[in-house]
Structure 1
Amino acid sequence: MKRVLVVAPHPDDETLGCGGTLLKLKAQGVNVHWLIVTTIEGVPGFSEDQTNKRASEIDQVAAEYAFDGVHKCELPTAQLDTLGKGELVGAVADVITHLKPDTVLVPYRNDVHSDHAAVFDATVSATKTFRSPFVRSIYAYETLSETDFGIRPDDPGFRPNLYENIEGYLERKLDIMALYESEMDAFPFPRSNECLRALATLRGAQANCQAAEAFMILKEIR
């Protein structure tokens, strides 16, 4: 059975970037795992109530997707760029080596959030072909509020070359995203139902379907 690992710097990135695709894969009987790299527990600025609420949200989201496994590196959120690279690469590599996924989904390298860039680099390091020959495909997903706000002048931007038709899964994706109550807000906030639906519609138009999610193919071995 095909095994897919979605790598999320923070809980909600997996849903923003490829929630419809994950639901579709599960419906097809694919073995799907979720890796959450960061945590807010013990991080200054987050209360015990917030930490407990986030833990509850993660449990609810995992149940909605019916993930085959939820894995956590538990590294401090918004601080990954302050850690030694070996610590981050090692944490991600441990999960990948244990699971041996054939497909890995990662955030786009030039997202504005530094955690996304750090997680991308760590995942690429952990999936070198001579170290992880079982990984046959790596795809980058886009994350509303992060990918679209990257304005580096040397970055050509997120340019998808793979589209997944998520007709029939968009509404469930929106319902799951609503579980992250503190991450959603009213339009024109980018993490809003209107924006999520608009992006799915745009990608759908590019793929000649009602709704789609877009990816960049980074590696594919056949």
Structure 2
Amino acid sequence: MKNVLVVAPHADDESLGCGGTLLRHRAEGDHIHWLIVTGMSEAYGYSPEQIAARKREIEKVADLYHFSSVTELGLPPAQLDALPLGQLIGAISPVINRIAPQWVYVPYRNDAHSDHQVVFDAVMSATKSFRYPFIKRLMTYETLSETDFGLKPEDGGFRPNIYVDISQHLDKKLDILDIFSSEMGEFPFPRSRKALSALAALRGVQSNAEAAEAFMLLKEINQ
């Protein structure tokens, strides 16, 4: 039994990148935890109706995953790069210490969305082995609509070396994503059931499974 933490810059990133894997963790008896870095507020330009709808979505999604904890930092979406990095590290570090996860999932650094890059950098500082010795495995996930549009010439691209068979969990992952109604769309929109199913099939082909999710292993400590 493990404590597993997924760090999501925005609510829905966790499901796009590793929803099936989280469901598999839970089915195998692990405790799964959800850290959402940004959040909607009127100060950030969202209406009370949007804020209430997102609150309902998060509550429903949390219930379907059976998360052991959900932490919302409520930082401004699409503006994290305007904050001092130390402020973000200071917000994430107490969560890491409280949960004491053995496994951590983070977004890919070179995604098109700047929030993903900033969150990645902050989590790297908040998972240093000499300060957080309980962390034994650190992996980065791909986020369809962001990872695939990260076209920095110097980036070698998302190159997975870990695959998780989610054949038994893909349908539920897609059903959960449908809860985020404002984030999903019809194909060829990347955050669509068809596109996400296609990516799961591709990762399955690469790992001899009907459907899979893929990750890049950043660090693993065996003692």
Give the TM-score taking structure 1 as reference length: 0.99
CA RMSD of aligned residues (A): 0.7
Contact 2:106 2:141 in 1 (8 A): yes
Aligned mates of 1:45, 1:197 — CA distance in 2: 33
Relative distance call for 1:155 and 1:43 in structure 2 (3 A) is farther
| Cα displacement (A) at 1:91 | 0.5
Report how far residue 43 of structure 1 moved: 4.0
Deviation at 1:42, TM superposition (A): 2.9
Structure-1 residue corresponding to 2:147? 147
Q: Corresponding residue for 1:215?
A: 215
Query: Within the alignment, does 1:157 sit opposite 2:157 as a pair?
Result: yes
1:45 deviates by: 3.0
SS at match of 1:148: helix
Aligned residue in 2 for 1:78: 78
Task: Using the TM superposition, give the Cα deviation of residue 76 of structure 1 relative to its aligned residue in structure 2, in angstroms.
Answer: 0.9
How do 1:123-202 residues align onto structure 2 when only pairs under 5 Å count?
123-202=123-202
SS in 1 for 2:56: helix
Contact 2:103 2:138 survives alignment (8 Å) = yes
User: Matched residues in 2 for 1:87 and 1:77: separation?
Assistant: 15
Aligned mates of 1:168, 1:137 — CA distance in 2: 24
Contact 1:6/1:35 (8 A) holds in 2? yes
Q: What is the CA distance between 1:145 and its match in structure 2?
A: 0.3
Cα separation, 1, equivalents of 2:72 and 2:45: 21
Q: Partner residue of 1:60?
A: 60
CA contact (8 A) 2:44 2:76 kept: no
TM-score scaled to structure 2, two decimals?
0.98
Taking the aligned partners of 1:143 and 1:40, their CA distance within structure 2 comes to 20
Q: Secondary structure at the match of 1:159?
A: coil
Which amino acid is 2:94 matched to?
D
Q: Deviations over 1:191-216 (max 9, x none)?
A: 00010000000000000010000000
SS of residue matched to 1:56: helix
Show structure 2 runs of 5+ residues with no match: none
User: Which amino acid in structure 2 is aligned with residue 190 of structure 1?
Assistant: P
Residue identity opposite 2:89 in structure 1: V
Q: How many Å apart are 1:136 and its aligned residue?
A: 0.7
Shift of 1:44: 3.2
- 1:82 alignment partner AA: A
User: Counterpart of 1:37?
Assistant: 37
Q: How does 1:21-32 map to 2 (within 5 A)?
A: 21-32=21-32
SS in 2 for 1:5: strand
